[in-house]
């Protein structure tokens, strides 16, 4: 365990052990912080990403720096992160400061410059994001909001939206997500059970198709009990 502390020199194995410990610890810390810190880089998440990266990076390149201090500091920061998340759930004032309400950028086809100033983005950036959303004209936008995670939500004017079955009072079948029962040549028994089928049913279906399960890249079953098979190519 000497590799955790500051050394004049480190052997190859000790460098490898530092990398393994740092990677595993950062993975554990990210797991504790939750998927939110991965999916949405908001103010607190972005801050944590920068700080944690710097804290754990230096001991991996400088043998004169011990790893113990970095692990302790990271643990404290993770606790502070969780405390901030908890406070944002319980204290609206803190939540509003940490994650402000969306800013209005466009309303009824007109750009709100005050919203652009608050979000600190330019008109060019707004137009770029509109193009990514397949919107070629600002006049088509009923509402555009700058979200706390830095993304922009666009809502088209109702007159420009495509007709839906609901608009035409058509009755559609309920949505059903096909179950993935084979993936990479292996049976997903939990999905197979949820679909109300068993291995005997699956083996019977594959025998009719004259294929082996390990030759199947992907297989799904829908609400009509139809098995769709995709092979390796």
Q: Residue 104 contacts by C-beta under 8 Å, 6 or more apart in sequence?
A: 112, 115, 143, 144, 145, 146
**Superfamily of the domain at 103-160:** bsu07140 like domains (3.30.240.20)
Q: Is the pLDDT of residue 204 over 50?
A: yes
Homologous superfamily, domain 179-231: bsu07140 like domains (3.30.240.20)
Looking at residue 2, its pLDDT comes to 65
Tokens encoding 185: 């040549």
pLDDT(224) > 50? yes
CB within 8 A of 221, min separation 6: which ones? Answer: 178, 179, 181, 195, 197, 227, 228
Rounded Cα gap, residues 44 and 47, in angstroms = 5
Residue 195 has phi, psi (to 5 degrees) of -80, -5
Would you say residue 31 has pLDDT above 60?
yes
Residue ranges with strand state E in the chain: 103-107, 110-111, 141-146, 152-156, 179-183, 186-187, 216-221, 227-231
The number of residues making up the chain comes to 233
Q: Where are the domains of the chain?
A: 2-95, 103-160, 179-231
User: What letter would DSSP give residue 161?
Assistant: S
Same fold, 103-160 and 179-231: yes
Q: Say if strands 186-187 and 179-183 run parallel, antiparallel, or are unpaired.
A: antiparallel
Pairing of strands 216-221, 179-183: antiparallel
pLDDT band at 187 (very low <50, low <70, confident <90, very high): very high
pLDDT tier, 37 (very low <50, low <70, confident <90, very high otherwise): very low
103-142: per-residue pLDDT in tens?
899 999 999 999 999 888 899 999 999 999 999 899 999 9
CA dihedral 129, 134, 139, 141 (to 10 degrees): -70
Average pLDDT, integer, range 66-77: 77
């Amino acid at each position: 365990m000497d590799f955790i502390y500051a050394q004049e020199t480190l052997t190859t194995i000790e460098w490898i052990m530092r990398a393994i410990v740092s990677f595993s610890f950062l993975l554990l810390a990210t797991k504790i912080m939750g998927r939110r810190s991965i999916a949405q880089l908001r103010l607190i998440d972005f801050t944590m990403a920068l700080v944690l990266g710097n804290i754990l990076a230096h001991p991996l390149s400088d043998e004169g720096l011990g790893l113990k201090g970095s692990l302790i500091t990271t643990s404290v920061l993770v606790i502070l992160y969780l405390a901030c998340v908890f406070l944002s759930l319980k204290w609206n004032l803190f939540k509003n400061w940490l994650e402000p309400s969306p800013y209005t950028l466009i309303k009824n086809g007109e750009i709100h410059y005050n919203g652009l100033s608050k979000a600190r983005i330019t008109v060019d950036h707004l137009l770029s994001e509109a193009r990514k959303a397949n919107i070629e004209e600002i006049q088509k936008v009923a509402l555009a909001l700058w979200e706390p995670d830095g993304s922009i939500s666009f809502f088209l004017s109702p007159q420009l939206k495509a007709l839906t079955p609901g608009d035409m009072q058509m009755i559609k079948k309920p949505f059903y997500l096909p179950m993935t029962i084979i993936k990479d040549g292996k049976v997903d028994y939990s999905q197979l059970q949820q679909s109300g089928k068993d291995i005997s049913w699956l083996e019977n279906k594959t025998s009719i198709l004259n294929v082996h399960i390990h030759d199947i890249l992907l297989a799904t079953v829908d609400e009509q009990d139809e098995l769709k098979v995709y092979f390796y190519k």
